[in-house]
Amino acid sequence: MRLYQRIIAGGLVVAGLAGLLGCERDNTPKPRKFAETNSAALADGDLAIGDLTGDGLADIVKLDQTGVYVIKNLGNGNFSEPYKIADTQSAAGASGSVAIGDLDGNGLPDIAKLDQTGTYILRNMGNGQFEYLKK
């Protein structure tokens, strides 16, 4: 059984079957769970970190076989539960890689998703909503 799949940002965030973890220092590093992964599907996939909401706090984007999820940074080391912002857009439900950046030049961070079926862009609509760009 694989406990951790990926380490992001110098070990500050770890994703895997245990959920999203952060490290606190109390003389020794101790993992602290930020959010539960409520299904086996959410436990696998890719992560990206960036401020999606414009509040100056780094949020987490989670991609897996069921969709694209956001875990909002609430501040003070607290995060929301993952909420789905989009389906995968691939018939096979393929997971892949995800990245955050302003791809359309409007000043808002968009989400790019790459899987074996193609590259997809989720445009940030500025109201907490994202929509896939059409070809």
pLDDT value at residue 6 = 42
Q: What pTM value is reported for the model?
A: 0.69
Radius of gyration of the CA atoms of the chain, in A: 15
Give the residues across from 6 on adjacent strands.
Answer: 15
Give the residues across from 112 on adjacent strands.
Answer: 99, 121
Q: What is the separation, in whole angstroms, between the first and last Cα of the chain?
A: 40
Burial-class residue 9 by CB neighbours within 10 Å (0-12, 13-18, 19+). Answer: exposed
pLDDT value at residue 58 = 93
Q: For residue range 51-79, list pLDDT tens digits in order.
A: 999 999 999 999 888 889 999 999 888 88
Q: For residue range 17-37, list pLDDT tens digits in order.
A: 444 555 454 545 555 555 555
pLDDT value at residue 52 = 93
Contacts of 12 (CB under 8 A, 6+ apart): 22, 23
pLDDT value at residue 12 = 40
| 98, 47 contact by CB (below 8 A) | yes
| 43, 37 contact by CB (below 8 A) | yes
Burial-class residue 60 by CB neighbours within 10 Å (0-12, 13-18, 19+). Answer: buried
